[in-house]
Structure 1
Amino acid sequence: MRIAITGGTGFVGTHLTRQLASEGHDLYILTRSPDKHPNTERVTYVGWLKEGMKPEKNLPELDAIVNLAGENLNSSRWTEETKKSIMNSRIEATESVLDLIKNMEQTTKVLVNASAVGFYGTSETETFTENTTTPGNDFLAKVTTEWEERAQKAELFGVRTVYLRFGVILGEEGALPKMAIPYKMYAGGPVGNGEQWMSWIHIRDIIGLIEFSIKNDKATGPINATAPNPKRNKELGKSIAKVLNKPHWLPAPSPALKLALGEMSTLLLQGQYVYPQKALELGYQFEYPELEPALKDILL
Structure 2
Amino acid sequence: MKLLITGGTGLIGTELIGRLRDRYEITVLSREPEEASKRFGKGVQALRSLDDVSDLSDFYGVINLQGEGIADKRWTARQKTRLQESRWEITRKLSERMRACEQPPKVFISGSAIGYYGAQGDEVMTEDKTVDLPDDFAHKLCAEWERLALEAQSVTRVCVVRTGVVLASDDSALQKMLPPYLLGLGGPLGNGKQYFSWIHLQDIARVFEFLLEHDDCQGVYNGTAPDPLPQELFSAKIAKVLRKSHFMRVPAWVLKLLLGEMSQMLLTGQRVEPARLQQAGFEFEFSSAEAALRDCLLPSSSSEQNS
For the superposition of Structure 1 and Structure 2, which TM-score range results when normalised by the shorter chain? over 0.9
How far does residue 93 in structure 1 lie from its aligned partner after superposition?
1.2
Deviations 1:87-142 (A, max 9, x none): 11110110122244245553100011000111111122211101124433221111
Alignment of 1:159-238 (within 5 A): 159-172=156-169, 173-238=171-236
1:48 maps to amino acid: S
- CA distance in 1 between partners of 2:153 and 2:57 (Å): 21
How far does residue 31 in structure 1 lie from its aligned partner after superposition?
2.3
Q: Could you tell me which residue of structure 1 aligns to residue 5 of structure 2?
A: 5
Alignment of 1:1-300 (within 5 A): 1-21=1-21, 23-38=22-37, 40-49=41-50, 53-56=51-54, 61-102=58-99, 104=101, 106-134=103-131, 135-156=133-154, 158-172=155-169, 173-300=171-298
Q: Could you tell me which residue of structure 1 aligns to residue 301 of structure 2?
A: none
- CA distance in 2 between partners of 1:56 and 1:231 (Å): 46
- CA distance in 1 between partners of 2:292 and 2:73 (Å): 28
2:43 maps to amino acid: R
Query: Any idea what SS the aligned residue of 2:103 has?
Result: coil
Query: Any idea what SS the aligned residue of 1:72 has?
Result: coil
How far does residue 244 in structure 1 lie from its aligned partner after superposition?
0.4
Query: Any idea what SS the aligned residue of 2:285 has?
Result: coil
Deviations 1:200-223 (A, max 9, x none): 100111011001110111211110
- CA distance in 2 between partners of 1:181 and 1:153 (Å): 43
Whether contact under 8 Å (1:25, 1:42) holds in the other structure is no
| TM-score computed with the length of structure 1 as normaliser | 0.93
1:37 maps to amino acid: A
Q: Could you tell me which residue of structure 1 aligns to residue 302 of structure 2?
A: none
Query: Any idea what SS the aligned residue of 1:154 has?
Result: helix
Whether contact under 8 Å (2:57, 2:102) holds in the other structure is no
- CA distance in 2 between partners of 1:34 and 1:183 (Å): 37
- CA distance in 2 between partners of 1:299 and 1:40 (Å): 28
Deviations 1:51-72 (A, max 9, x none): xx33125x77211110001111
Residues 1:133 and 1:65: Cα distance change in structure 2 (over 3 Å)? farther
2:29 maps to amino acid: L
How far does residue 80 in structure 1 lie from its aligned partner after superposition?
1.3
Whether contact under 8 Å (2:186, 2:247) holds in the other structure is yes
1:131 maps to amino acid: D
Whether contact under 8 Å (1:30, 1:47) holds in the other structure is yes
1:9 maps to amino acid: T
1:42 maps to amino acid: G
- CA distance in 1 between partners of 2:84 and 2:60 (Å): 28
1:45 maps to amino acid: A
- CA distance in 1 between partners of 2:130 and 2:66 (Å): 24
- CA distance in 2 between partners of 1:44 and 1:191 (Å): 42
- CA distance in 1 between partners of 2:48 and 2:98 (Å): 15
1:273 maps to amino acid: R
How far does residue 30 in structure 1 lie from its aligned partner after superposition?
1.5
Whether contact under 8 Å (1:6, 1:30) holds in the other structure is yes
Whether contact under 8 Å (1:229, 1:291) holds in the other structure is yes
Greater shift in the superposed pair: 130-139 or 263-272: 130-139
Structure 1 gaps of 5+ residues are none
